[in-house]
Amino acid sequence: MTKKNKQPDIVPHYFDDVRSYANIARAEAIFIESLIAKKSEIRNNYTLHQALEKAVHFLGDPNGRVLDMLVEFEVDDQHRQKRQKMHLGTLLCPQATGSDAQVTHFLCLSEDTDYLAKIHLDRDFSSNDPGGKPTPHIQIGGRVSKSLAAKIAGTAFWRDDLDKPRIPSMPVCSALLWHWAFLEYRNDQNIIPFLGADWWAAMVRDAEESVLKPFFDDGAKLMAEKPASGLLNSFYVPLAR
């Protein structure tokens, strides 16, 4: 008789703040409000102004309304000496599939009508996936979002039907995704005004405090209190068996 493998003793309350939809929605609302307040300082980006006008509806009820935000920046690929478009997307849906919420952030690079590369970062709330998913996780490739496909009817240089591997990651919100993306292009003329602004630095610090600090605090607590559970195991949903 074969012995059944025992599931890790994972305590559900770890990473609750990270996986809380309300916490995510609150971080996005603060980000949007901050950008709206500084809109007069952000010039020459029509897609950003357009996205903020659309996002005002979300601010009326962040926990109950969909946020579908897509902004693009032209940036230099200094290695290839070409100009590219960097697309930064956020999708929050409180009831994407039944009672399960959807939270996705993505970065996609395009050139002319071709999609060159894409990563997206998900937080999964469903416990019904038979294969299990780490949450939050980073995935390379995946489907091109409807909002992005509506802008560029191009060719994707990856298999969009592959859903693995998913890499466990620290959580992000739009402020953290944008800041990380901006650091990759810190010398670009379209990015310097953001990274050089005091209000941007303050907003990133607030996002790190509200999104990253609980994550690292919980991770350290789990490793101290439940070392046998394993930190990576704790990323996978469902949390308890």
Q: Please state, in angstroms and as integers, the Cα–Cα distance from residue 124 to each residue in 35, 54, 103, 188, 209, following that order.
A: 27, 25, 7, 34, 22
136 vs 121: CA distance, rounded Å = 7
Burial string for 42-73 (b: 16+ CB within 10 Å, else e) reads eeeeebbbebbeebeebeeebeeeebbbbbbb
- Each residue's pLDDT tens digit in the chain (241 positions)? 444 444 444 444 677 767 788 888 999 999 999 999 998 888 778 999 999 999 999 999 998 999 999 999 999 887 778 889 999 999 998 876 656 788 899 998 888 777 777 888 888 766 666 667 788 888 887 666 677 766 666 666 666 666 778 888 889 999 999 999 999 999 999 999 999 999 999 999 999 998 999 889 989 998 998 888 888 888 886 544 4
190 vs 181: CA distance, rounded Å = 12
227 vs 21: CA distance, rounded Å = 27
SS3 174: helix
pLDDT of 9 reads 47
Entry pTM: 0.86
State phi, psi for 30 to the nearest 5 degrees: -65, -40
pLDDT of 129 reads 64
Residue found by looking up tokens 């020459």 in the block: 44
State yes or no: cis peptide before 130, omega within 30 of 0: no
Helix axes 174-184, 198-207, angle to 10 degrees: 130
DSSP 210: I
What's the angle, vertex CA 145, arms to CA 140 and CA 149, rounded to 5? 115
- Name residues whose C-beta falls within 8 Å of residue 59's C-beta, 6 or more positions apart in sequence: 29, 32, 33
- Per-domain boundaries in the chain: 16-237
Q: Are 191 and 182 in contact (CB under 8 A)?
A: yes
